Structure 1
Amino acid sequence: MDFVSEAIVLQARKHGETSAIMETFTREHGRHNALVRGGVGRRMRPILQPGNIVEVEWRGRLEEHLGYYTVELVDALAGTFMEDRLSLSALNSLASLLREMLPEKQPLPGLYDVTKIVLERLDDPDIWPALYVRWETMLLEGLGYGLDLSRCAATETTDNLTHVSPRSGRAVCAEAAEPYLDKLFRLPPFLRGQPIATPQDIADGLRLTGHFLETRVQWERNRTLPEARRVMVERLVADGLAV
């Protein structure tokens, strides 16, 4: 059996003397691992850096086997992040969430495409924080826990949606939210299509998605959110991009 797919490198760890096991997020086959012969050598090591876009050819006798990757570099994005601590923290957070949360070998092409867009824009701090929050909403959707921000959970109106219920993940309009403001999450306008995201909006968005990633996804596995995500949030705050 074999396949060819574009993929995002999530991690590569040494295996034996010269090989590496590379973990990828492939467009057609979801999260997938395989052995790369010579993966720790000078030629391959820069290619197997997290964040790079590659084309992989997987070969194995049976689908459930680890198998082998042949790897060709498509876009060396990783090198653009190494000198920027903020962008690197976003890459580490994104890769950690995908490694921990994605089921193996489940195709999620929509999430893959959005992930690639975020990676390609991590060099622009005016853009990527809002994209990253939207990416986490897509991750929740891909895992079966999508938020419903289309209409009010209490009144069914689609107007003046300002908050989100921490229980249902559904939007709440301002009138229905008024008695429960201390119990609801604020809904950042950019998640409803507004073009501008303030530092307050970014912080509110990260609190919103973080809550559901932790209580809906990680809780079932008896885990908290990855440390890399906390580091990213702290650096956003330190740089004034979140409050």
Structure 2
Amino acid sequence: MLIKTEGIVIRTRDYGESHKVVVLFTAERGKLPVLARGAKKPRSRLGAVTQLFTRGQYLCFLGSGMGTLSQGELISSHHGLRSDLLLTATAAYLVELLDRMTEEKDPSPALYRLLSSTLDQLEGGTDPEILSRIFELKVLEAAGYRPVLDKCALCGSRDRPVRFSVRQGGFLCSDCLHRDPHTLPLSETAARLLRLLQRITPDRIGEVRVKEETKAQLERVLRAFIDEYAGIKFKSRPFLDQLRKDWSKSPDR
């Protein structure tokens, strides 16, 4: 069966001397692994459309096994992501999260729009850390792990929450804090921002300025939540962490 689909390259691996296995994330078919024959050859017509983060229109032949990529037409190369090491590392973490939290051939138009918009905004200069938190929240929700951020996760009280409980899956009010001795602190600003990020999409961020301390609190909470419920051992995260650490120490920062 020959199909035409729009997709974004989220993973590649070499196959033999000149071929690639490419995993496309599509709206209609979810993750779609295809073999791109000859894509590693210098003059291959599939070379440009099979690079990581590339968005394009793909013509694929699907049979009983792995599909084959026949043609590709470039929509967005996202060259800017691949030419900046920090953006490359951030995008690699995001697509790995999406890859690990979704199944093959499971359609998800919402996640496809999220991925496309996030990569566009990332390349356009929007804060990578804020984009990452939105992306994490949306992917978690799609996988069935939505933290409770608008009320106490235990009693449902909407009085101002004071700490975040990974074990209980969300904010706890002062009356319920004793139920989890390992809660994580969040400032009122960070708690309010976390609730906002759960509701909005990447294209609605606009110009955003968030203190480094607030961003660190958001990352710590969501990282703990992902580690607890998703149980993913990331390949991309250690490199991203080291890169950000080195960047923060740079005298040119």
Quick one: which amino acid aligns to residue 115 of structure 1?
A: L
Change (3 A) 1:126 1:36: closer
For structure 1, list consecutive stretches of 5 or more residues without a partner in the other structure. Answer: 219-223
CA contact (8 A) 1:147 1:169 kept: yes
Question: What is the distance in 2 between the residues matched to 1:186 and 1:115?
Answer: 30
Question: What is the distance in 1 between the residues matched to 2:83 and 2:121?
Answer: 15
Match of 2:56 in 1: 54
RMSD: 2.6
What are the residue-to-residue correspondences of 1:52-91 with 2, within 5 Å?
A: 52-62=54-64, 65-69=65-69, 70-77=71-78, 79-91=79-91
CA shift, 1:117, in A, is 1.6
Match of 1:206 in 2: 219
Match of 1:221 in 2: none
Quick one: which amino acid aligns to residue 210 of structure 1?
A: R
CA contact (8 A) 1:4 1:56 kept: yes
CA shift, 1:155, in A, is 3.8
> SS in structure 2 opposite 1:47?
helix
- Find the partner of 1:193 among 178, 191, 196: 196
For structure 2, list consecutive stretches of 5 or more residues without a partner in the other structure. Answer: 198-207
CA contact (8 A) 1:199 1:240 kept: no
Q: Percent identity, aligned pairs only?
A: 23
Match of 2:32 in 1: 32
Q: Is 1:158 matched up with 2:158?
A: yes
Question: What is the distance in 2 between the residues matched to 1:112 and 1:46?
Answer: 21
CA shift, 1:170, in A, is 2.0
Question: What is the distance in 1 between the residues matched to 2:239 and 2:17?
Answer: 32
Match of 2:102 in 1: 102
> SS in structure 1 opposite 2:130?
helix
CA contact (8 A) 1:50 1:95 kept: no
Once the two structures are superposed, residues 61-117 of structure 1 have per-residue CA deviations (whole angstroms, 9 ceiling, x without a partner) of 33xx2111232211010x102332211110121122233332111122212211212
Once the two structures are superposed, residues 184-218 of structure 1 have per-residue CA deviations (whole angstroms, 9 ceiling, x without a partner) of 13453321228653222222222222223222222
Quick one: which amino acid aligns to residue 184 of structure 1?
A: T
> SS in structure 1 opposite 2:4?
strand
Question: What is the distance in 1 between the residues matched to 2:22 and 2:123?
Answer: 25
CA contact (8 A) 1:154 1:176 kept: no
**Count, aligned residues:** 232
CA contact (8 A) 1:3 1:59 kept: yes
> SS in structure 2 opposite 1:153?
coil
Give the TM-score, by structure 1 length: 0.83
Question: What is the distance in 2 between the residues matched to 1:46 and 1:110?
Answer: 26
Quick one: which amino acid aligns to residue 235 of structure 1?
A: L
